[in-house]
């Protein structure tokens, strides 16, 4: 049985929402409630986060993708849509890259197929050293507010509380895996079905211009920008995010028919 913990809401075509770095399934609460009137929404905790145990370290993003595919096998889920936020998008691409025919479409929510630049890799190394010296909490205290463009957003404290539950071993292992992940541009270029890209116009983690550039590589892209949003569109512009996901899945379900 898969070690991946998940929760479910609603009935219908399966839609999997995968959280990002230092998050859990809880970040999707509001969106999941509103999407569950149309979909069977599945909310997993990535291995090492929330209630899912951390696998042996070190591991790669592909290793996590294979674990998540095993979870799908255990649930006997075929043709699910998967939308991944940030790190969740990296895992989503690893899943699709391994079994592209299994998915009718997938979404990158503030995520990128580009590999880390040398500068970004060096920043990841600095995070690892900082956490080893100082622990998780001082990092989280700085990291979470930077995810939001809307500094007064009422969900900042909620995300901070969720992120504060991250274990140092998990944080370091995933930072290493993200640093070393390969680019996935070939997947975007060759995937023969729709791909959704949601970008925050003020995202300081995944620049809007980078999201726009990667969408130009896709055969069937659906690119949307979120106004007045940074890296947390599910909180900073929830109504539009919900509409985008619904429109995308409706389009993808009818694609090629």
What does the domain layout of the chain look like in residue ranges? 6-253
pLDDT band at 257 (very low <50, low <70, confident <90, very high): low
Residue 10 has pLDDT above 70, yes or no: yes
Q: Using only C-alpha atoms, what is the Rg of the chain?
A: 17
Q: In the structure, how many helices (H) and strands (E) does the chain have?
A: 11, 7
pLDDT band at 254 (very low <50, low <70, confident <90, very high): confident
19 CB-contact burial (10 Å; exposed 0-12 / middle 13-18 / buried 19+) = buried
Q: Cβ contacts of residue 152 below 8 Å, gap of 6+?
A: none
CATH tag for 6-253 (out of 3.40.50.300, 3.30.70.380, 3.40.50.1820, 3.40.50.2020): 3.40.50.1820
pLDDT band at 146 (very low <50, low <70, confident <90, very high): very high
pTM for the whole structure: 0.97
Instruction: Give me 80's structure tokens.
Output: 């699910």
Paired sense of beta strands 6-9 and 39-44, if any: antiparallel
190 φ, ψ to 5°? Answer: -105, -15
pLDDT for 255 equals: 82
Q: Which H or E element spans position 177?
A: helix 168-180
Instruction: Give me 182's structure tokens.
Output: 């390969």
Which is nearest to 80 in space by CA: 197, 253, 255? Answer: 253
As a whole-number percent, the residues of the chain with pLDDT over 70 amount to: 99
At residue 56, the 3 state secondary structure works out as: coil
Cα–Cα distances in angstroms (integers) from residue 19 to residues 47, 130, 203, in the given order = 11, 24, 17
CB crowding 48-87: b at 16 or more within 10 Å, else e: bbbebebeeeebebbbbbbbbbebbeebebeebbbbbbbb
Report how far residue 178's alpha carbon sits from residue 81's, in angstroms, rounded to the nearest whole number. 23
Place of tokens 């969720």: 162
pLDDT, tens only, 190-244: 999 999 999 999 999 999 999 999 999 999 999 999 999 999 999 999 999 999 9
pLDDT band at 2 (very low <50, low <70, confident <90, very high): confident
pLDDT band at 256 (very low <50, low <70, confident <90, very high): low
Q: Cβ contacts of residue 1 below 8 Å, gap of 6+?
A: 74
Largest CA distance in the chain: 56
pLDDT, tens only, 103-140: 999 999 999 999 999 999 999 999 999 999 999 999 99
């Amino acid at each position: 049985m898969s070690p991946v913990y998940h929760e479910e809401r609603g009935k219908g075509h399966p839609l999997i929402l995968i959280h990002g770095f230092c998050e859990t399934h809880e970040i999707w609460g509001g969106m999941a409630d509103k999407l569950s009137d149309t979909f069977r929404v599945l909310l997993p905790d990535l291995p090492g986060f929330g209630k899912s145990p951390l696998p042996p370290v070190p591991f790669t993003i592909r290793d996590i993708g294979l674990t998540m595919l095993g979870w799908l096998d255990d649930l006997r889920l075929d043709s699910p849509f998967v939308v991944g936020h940030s790190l969740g998008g990296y895992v989503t691409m690893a899943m699709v890259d391994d079994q592209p025919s299994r998915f009718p479409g997938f979404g990158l929510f503030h995520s990128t197929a580009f590999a880390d630049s040398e500068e970004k890799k060096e920043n990841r190394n600095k995070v690892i050293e900082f956490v080893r010296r100082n622990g998780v909490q001082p990092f989280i205290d700085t990291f979470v507010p930077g995810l939001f463009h809307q500094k007064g957003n009422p969900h900042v404290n909620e995300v901070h509380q969720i992120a504060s539950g991250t274990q140092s071993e998990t944080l370091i292992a995933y930072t290493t895996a993200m640093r070393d992940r390969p680019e996935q541009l070939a997947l975007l270029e060759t995937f023969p079905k729709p791909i959704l890209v949601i970008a925050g116009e003020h995202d300081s983690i995944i620049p809007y211009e980078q999201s726009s550039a990667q969408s130009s590589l896709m055969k069937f892209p659906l690119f949307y920008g979120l106004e007045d949003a940074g890296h947390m569109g599910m909180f900073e512009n929830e109504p539009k995010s919900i509409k985008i996901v619904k429109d995308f899945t409706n389009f993808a379900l009818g694609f090629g028919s």
